[in-house]
Amino acid sequence: MKIPSLGEVRGLLAEGVRQMVEMPLYTAGIAAYRCGVKVAGIKNPKARKLDEGQKEIWKRLDECINPDDRYIWVHAASLGEFEQGRPLIEKIKRERPEYKVLLTFFSPSGYEVRKDYKGADCVCYLPFDTPARVRKFLYKVNPEMAVFVKYEFWRNYLHELWRRQIPVYLISAVFRPDQFFFKKRSAWYGHWLRWYTRIFVQDERSLELLKGIGVVNAEVAGDTRFDRVTDIMATCREIPELERFVGKRGSEGRAPMVIMFGSSWEADEIVYGDWLRAHKDVKGVIAPHEFDADRLRRLKDMFPGEAVLMSELKENPAAGEGKRILIMDCFGLLSSAYAYADVAYVGGGFGVSIHNINEAAVYGIPVIFGPENSKFIEAQELKTLGGGIEVTGSDSFSRNADKLLYDVKEREKRGRWAGEYIKEKIGATEKIFAEIF
């Protein structure tokens, strides 16, 4: 029997002390957050949905989990992370049918949209990350494997999975120097990363950051979102109302340029609104990120006499006559709608961060977005290649939009660069699948 060295003993003692302090403090923070959600739910609909969803978890698991089945648990924080995890889920279902898939969400915006997703055998909220709930959840599900998507670092879940020797993977992960893992005052968070069986990162920079803090259970696999948008393009849905309104790309009688404004926020509309109002020969399609009756009314008022809702076209195709702005008051069609555009503007870049630019770039069209994009590798790479264009305000948008409108060769060249970039990036799902199985 090997006698541990003094250094090893000190390391074990330090780890024990760290966990004695860290776990109770972390758990107290989670408990406080849960209480905050309950209080916020009095007035905030999203918080109320989260609180109500948490109450239904155990009933949901009792209804759909069969103790005799073998489960792979996939967790996505919200809808965007789900789209990253989806290619792996669907590959598991195709190629390893002996497994059932449990899909969990933390955010109501993910769960409410995908609670009936047929690719998983059970969909529910993730219980709050307190030790008792973690143990109860893992006892009921008894997963053979867990897969977390991109940014999911739940301390108690990770430790308990590690303690039970259940393989746990993080896929499509991105790390940045400003994250708490890499700061001296919070370096102890880096220990959490060692509980993953394997971390699949998107780029070399992330891998080097992890190596710098002694995390070696990682490798570069790429981003599964590229596989997802390629699948979406291959199964692109026809949208008859949109096709009648703008025509097919390259068809006669089509406007000189059709520009799609996807996941548009009010801050984005301030940037592109004046340009779109001034260019009467351009057709615009606006898909607001979120909307209600008041939001739709204000959007129509931005373009007096020129705008029509998608729902109005469905009821009466003649409602689009003489209109050049279409407002998509529906969900689930955005990724297919980009196929009808010559140029895409992807919103969110004048708020918290841009939305999914890959959904547009896959169709071989230039993609414009705002300055809040530093967290997205694809935005940085597309800018460098020329397929993506960052704008910093209304003047910047106008200059770039004019260039794309009046210089068709420039537009086509940038679109080609965007499409080629996506094609070069596919394959992450295959690599991850091969590693974990």
pLDDT, one tens digit per residue, over 58-102 is: 999 999 999 999 999 999 999 889 999 999 999 999 999 999 999
- With a CB cutoff of 8 Å and minimum separation 6, the contacts of 297 are none
Q: Which residues of the chain have pLDDT under 50?
A: 1, 9
Range 237-425 classified under CATH 3.40.50.2000: yes
In this prediction, residue 20 carries a pLDDT of 67
The residue extents of the domains of the chain are: 40-230+428-436, 237-425
Residues in Cβ contact with 369 at an 8 Å cutoff, skipping those fewer than 6 apart: 345, 346, 347, 348, 349, 354, 357, 379, 388, 389, 390, 391
Q: What is the structure's pLDDT at 8?
A: 53
Domains 40-230+428-436 and 237-425 share a fold: yes
Site of tokens 């590229």? 226
Q: Which CATH architecture has domain 40-230+428-436?
A: 3-Layer(aba) Sandwich (3.40)
What is the C-alpha separation between 298 and 302, in angstroms, rounded? Answer: 6
Instruction: Give the Cα separation of 112 and 390 in Å (integer).
Output: 32
Contact by Cβ (8 Å): 50, 33: no
Two tokens, residue 291: 């909307």
In sequence order, the 6+-apart residues with CB closer than 8 A to the CB of 71 are 65, 99, 100, 101, 102, 121, 141, 142, 143, 144
Cβ atoms 170, 196 nearer than 8 A: yes
Would you state the pLDDT for residue 245?
A: 95
Q: Are 188 and 215 spatial neighbours (Cβ–Cβ below 8 Å)?
A: no
Measured between alpha carbons, how far is 403 from 400 in angstroms, rounded to an integer? Answer: 5
